[in-house]
Structure 1
Amino acid sequence: MIGVTMKMLALDAVHAFVLTAELKSFTRAAEAMDSTQSAVSLKIKRLEDALGRRLLDRTPRLVRLSHDGAAFLGPARELLAAHADALGSFGVQRQRLSIGMSHHVVGAELPHLLRQIGRAEPDLTLEVSIAGSWELLDLFDSGALDAAIVLRHEGRRTDGEVLMEETFGWMASSDFQHRSGEPLRLALQAESCRVHEMAVTALNEAGIAWQEVFVGGGIATIGAAVAAGLAVAALSPRVAPPGTMDMGESLGLPPLPTRSVVLQSRPSEPAARRALRTFASALRATAGH
């Protein structure tokens, strides 16, 4: 252990290790650091050599902490936080980043996503809005948002960075019951919601009778109605409540199209750009991309 304590640890290598451990992916960590997978792997290898410990178990499809890596992760986070505090001791001026996220994109992983940004850019003030994609694009186009993470729909702008493809299913609770011959009970958002339009169009084209039994003011309320067994809803399985499942096949419902999740951004400050890279990489990681 004396040899380990005499070595100076490279902070960028520690940062690479923490990101890879939290995102469970060399690729996602490389994206967040604006680097390459091979460079991140090399940094971590040199860190392991300096410590004399294997920190990560690597397989072609899985990255996970070793026993020593799990022990080192907490102190590594503390080291990075102490470094950030040292840099901020001279009163660094805080920058602001306003992000809008579609409520069809953000799920229970939001605290994890915000944690990644907070650790990467502790001097950044975040302003986060959750709303529908078209509303967020209006805010972005007006300059009220620095960035918007939205679903791409027909008839709206086709630029931006595609982060991933989002699938949708007919989500319901495991005890949801549909009586043969009765209209399908649906939980929907307002008619202005494009996922609402997507769902009812698919049902109408398939000749399936439906009735609106619940109108929600966001995915949290729609998810609550679904989890309560009141209705079926068109949701991404990634953001659907725990305990719900895609009942489309068992109910004979038509498949729903996928939608691209797109990042629209204009920040010019380096810290804001780094924060968005981290946010996008963490989002991809939660979706298994």
Structure 2
Amino acid sequence: MNNPAKILDIDTVRAFVLVADLGSFTRAAEALDTAQATVSLKLKRLEGLLGHRLLERTPRHVALSGDGERFLPAARNLLDAHQRALAGVRTAPPSRLTLGISDHVAGAELPTLLARLNAYDPTLVVEVRVSSSRDVIARYGQGELDAAIARRGEEGADGETLFREPFGWFAAPSFAYRPGEPLRLATLAAPCGIRTLAIDALDEAGLPWTEAFVGGGVLALGAAVSAGLAVATLAHRVAPTGAIEVGEAFGLPRLPAQDVVLMARPARREARDVLKVLAAAFRGAAAR
């Protein structure tokens, strides 16, 4: 008697790829809008069908096994072929999603997150614009963006809370500061909500300050910090490698955490599904 054919279920393969990308059953369940137990059951069935353990599970993290690493490229290719096959019979034009992200939120993991979006649905064209929270929110309000990720503290930013972002005062280990001297700041140009947050906190504490560097983006602020030019108010997640939080050591005021929200109005299901993946990926990155 012939062995029955092994047929891979597309939804189960998609669940596996999301768990691999997001490193979490919880985040994958969020992206799929289902229960964590359902995702876990799908993965167990997939491992049973293939006869190999694909994931190594620990209480805090999920990692690919050796067999999982080998299966992942084939799984991505299967999803890609499936999406393109569906696109080939559609009468509607390809979907497009215009997304704005605040530069204080984007973080070093943004390219990886965008790659995950493309892998999830290669038929969806995603246009990304990184700018200040205020600009991103204004463009969203004017209908120029389908979705926006920004700080809730900016006027008009009201949406689904993705996570709460801690902020601090970051400097190079070699940066010298003597209490009583004006604190040398690296900031974005006004009007920047984080600039205002920092300056208001210093003024309220009665601490003198001076702007030593005004940059055009968070990467520029990070460069100024790394060069030892100034202190910058940054989210812990986007602080440059090697920088240290100096607020307590320098006697600087504590800064309030900021809610990061997703505002969205995509018309098509494909775009809504991809935004769920993006939201889960941002939550995962913030939790690390």
Please report the TM-score for the alignment, with normalisation by the length of structure 2.
0.94
Percent identity, aligned pairs only?
51
- Distance, in Å, in 2 between the alignment partners of 1:94 and 1:201 is 47
* Residue pairs, 1:1-289, within 5 angstroms: 6-90=5-89, 93-153=93-153, 156-157=155-156, 159-288=158-287
- Describe the SS at the equivalent of 2:104: coil
Shift of the alpha carbon at 1:180?
Answer: 4.4
Shift of the alpha carbon at 1:88?
Answer: 3.4
- Distance, in Å, in 2 between the alignment partners of 1:228 and 1:124 is 40
- Distance, in Å, in 1 between the alignment partners of 2:85 and 2:181 is 65
Which region of structure 1 is more displaced relative to structure 2, 184-193 or 72-81?
A: 72-81
Which region of structure 1 is more displaced relative to structure 2, 66-75 or 138-147?
A: 66-75
- Distance, in Å, in 2 between the alignment partners of 1:6 and 1:242 is 50
- Distance, in Å, in 2 between the alignment partners of 1:127 and 1:67 is 35
Give the conservation status (yes or no) of the 8 Å contact 2:137–2:157: no
- Distance, in Å, in 1 between the alignment partners of 2:260 and 2:144 is 20
Which region of structure 1 is more displaced relative to structure 2, 80-89 or 35-44?
A: 80-89
Letter in 2 for 1:123: T
Deviations 1:79-114 (A, max 9, x none): 222323333345762111111111110011111111
- Describe the SS at the equivalent of 2:237: coil
Shift of the alpha carbon at 1:34?
Answer: 1.8
Letter in 1 for 2:238: V
Shift of the alpha carbon at 1:145?
Answer: 0.9
Which region of structure 1 is more displaced relative to structure 2, 240-249 or 256-265?
A: 240-249
- Distance, in Å, in 2 between the alignment partners of 1:42 and 1:286 is 25
Letter in 2 for 1:216: G
Give the conservation status (yes or no) of the 8 Å contact 1:165–1:258: yes
Q: CA RMSD in A?
A: 1.8
Which region of structure 1 is more displaced relative to structure 2, 84-93 or 118-127?
A: 84-93
- Distance, in Å, in 2 between the alignment partners of 1:127 and 1:78 is 23
- Distance, in Å, in 2 between the alignment partners of 1:288 and 1:203 is 28
Give the conservation status (yes or no) of the 8 Å contact 1:237–1:245: no
Letter in 2 for 1:166: E
Q: Structure 1 residues 266 and 284, CA, compared in 2 at 3 Å: closer, same or farther?
A: same
Shift of the alpha carbon at 1:267?
Answer: 1.1
Letter in 2 for 1:134: R
- Distance, in Å, in 2 between the alignment partners of 1:174 and 1:158 is 35
Shift of the alpha carbon at 1:240?
Answer: 1.4
- Distance, in Å, in 2 between the alignment partners of 1:275 and 1:223 is 30
Letter in 1 for 2:252: L
Shift of the alpha carbon at 1:284?
Answer: 0.8
Give the conservation status (yes or no) of the 8 Å contact 2:157–2:263: no
Please report the TM-score for the alignment, with normalisation by the length of structure 1.
0.93
Shift of the alpha carbon at 1:161?
Answer: 0.5
- Distance, in Å, in 1 between the alignment partners of 2:133 and 2:108 is 18
Letter in 2 for 1:86: A
Unaligned runs of 5+ in 2: none
Deviations 1:148-202 (A, max 9, x none): 1110116x23631011001101011122222444211110111200100000111
Which region of structure 1 is more displaced relative to structure 2, 41-50 or 171-180?
A: 171-180
Q: Structure 1 residues 216 and 44, CA, compared in 2 at 3 Å: closer, same or farther?
A: same
Which region of structure 1 is more displaced relative to structure 2, 269-278 or 64-73?
A: 64-73
Which region of structure 1 is more displaced relative to structure 2, 277-286 or 176-185?
A: 176-185
Q: State how many pairs are aligned.
A: 286
Letter in 1 for 2:273: R
